[in-house]
Amino acid sequence: MDSSDNIWRAGRDATIIEALNVALHMLVIHDGMQVRSGGNEWTLDFRSQIELVRRAMEMLGIDTSEPLIAPPGGPRKEDDDADV
């Protein structure tokens, strides 16, 4: 394995970790949320999915006991313009 393979793998792993972090963040935010549709109401339960993502992150060496950091982004530029 040469250095270009290592760089490619590091970039790939970083992309996977970022995607898992975003997924975990979205699941945690919406877990337990009350949903209403068509006259029905239920509570979203993503506990098993949260655990699955956490296990995958731990397999990649990420300490999931650390506080969850919000993914990069924030409001999109066109969202900022809508407030004007």
Q: What is the mean pLDDT of each run of 10 residues along the chain (84 residues)?
A: 70 84 90 95 97 92 77 62 48
- Report the distance separating Cα 80 and Cα 5, nearest Å: 41
pLDDT value of residue 33: 96
pLDDT value of residue 46: 97
CA 43 to chain CA centroid, nearest Å: 20
- Report the distance separating Cα 51 and Cα 31, nearest Å: 12
Structural domain harbouring 18 = 3-82
Give how many domains the chain has, as a whole number: 1
pTM: 0.67
